[in-house]
Chains A and B, each alone.
Chain A
């Protein structure tokens, strides 16, 4: 049998090749991502993923947010304090906002400069760190004293009062100042002193908090060492607690915890930035549980985008504890106070 040789039309081949080229081109153009929407294509080792670390075991969360959420009205909130009747005092912008226990705005006290820290004494006086000095205001908001300026480098990030002692954390000079209630400087606490076994404060950014427990011992966060140091009023270092770890029990990053408060039972409440977490420790520094993790604080998966260097370095949370044990969390970027109460047993 003869095969009839078939002549293939060369124009058909050219047409087929052309179609194939057009299809291939179209497919590759469609597959080529010039918009970046399909991601970078980098392998997993190039990804910085905190998602896993941000997850908090629900069994460890001992608190729930109460219905009370207070907007501070500030562009930049800085610090929160409570008085014995549960009134909230927030330092921000160039003022102090006072809110009733139910969150109702009561008063706005204008200041001469930007406040960074404040505390309210049992007699209702307000001690506030403004710029390079401390101002004392009456309960009505009238200035009653302005203490000596501490120099251009002073950054007063925390104040606590106990009986006749006032302790002021100065992040700029990396030192705690000890005053009497009249504003006379009594001494300095925490300067590096190998003879007294005092390591010195390491403060990478303006986060440097302190509190005084009922026994009069001063508790100071050493943020660069991720621990809380305990000093006598004479400046002797007694002991320290705090574990450096991303684990829920520890503190991670270079400046944590950024905030510290002491509860009515003598336990501690801490707040961290980076992995935004508010946690509870007992009076010996033992981990008790979580008040709120990134998910509860609405910070989960947030990529930090900041507009100014100060914003990039700032952020974070400030905490205070009420006489009833409720935890007040000031979100300094969202300018809101959130209140967390201990969950009832069995819930």
Chain B
């Protein structure tokens, strides 16, 4: 009971709720994957608690633009002005100037919410899954940015080229009807 209370407290502190928005359309995506490859009705996914954002996801995918993208767990994000996933470690200013942006492809958008909070969203068409922002967020922030295989583009290869190259065994097969391994506020799985 005491433990339940601890969890509840933590959940409340971390603002439950906005999470669903970040992977909109996952149901459709899962359907597509199943149609493409029915192997055990499973698809590839990254365990966010094992991934060390090594960069291999950006270059080892058989697709020209990797199927792995950065996603945002809004319920965990601190909405920080000084976002270390968005800003270079030594920003000249806390603003959207290109010289201050950490993401080499400009895939992260910063939107003012209210003083002093900002929301960070990923433009997946620009993201190559390099994981630079994931490292920045994990080092100083709450670790709300993480990598996921996006099933609207993944070919669900029998032998995933990234899985073979992953140094931390973060790639695994998951049920196609639950194709994402999300970071949750209150539990690992």
Contact = CB atoms under 8 A, between A and B. Distances in A.
Interface of A: 33-37, 39-42, 45-48, 50, 53, 112-114, 131-132, 152-155, 171-172, 202, 204-206, 224-226, 244-246, 252-256, 273-275, 303-310, 312-313
Given A42-B55, A172-B13, A274-B84, A254 B139 contact: no
A308 B49 contact: yes
A254 B165 contact: no
A300 to B, nearest CB: 13
Contacts of B58: 40, 42, 46
A131 B5 contact: yes
B50 to A, nearest CB: 7
Interface string B36-66: 0000000000000110111110111000000
A39 B60 CA distance: 10
B78 A224 contact: yes
A172 B78 contact: no
B81 interface: yes
Given A36-B54, A204-B141, 17 more contacts: A40-B55, A40-B130, A42-B58, A46-B58, A114-B2, A152-B12, A172-B9, A205-B78, A224-B80, A252-B84, A254-B82, A254-B142, A274-B84, A309-B14, A309-B184, A312-B142, A313-B76
B166 interface: yes
A123 B112 CA distance: 49
Interface size on B, as a range, is 35 or more
A254 B50 contact: no
Contacts of B76: 309, 312-313
Contact of B141 (A225, A254, A306): A254
A153 B12 contact: yes
20 contacts: A36-B56, A36-B164, A39-B56, A42-B58, A48-B53, A48-B136, A53-B90, A131-B9, A132-B9, A154-B9, A155-B9, A204-B78, A206-B10, A225-B116, A253-B84, A253-B139, A254-B82, A275-B139, A309-B14, A309-B184
B132 interface: yes
A192 to B, nearest CB: 9
A48 B186 CA distance: 28
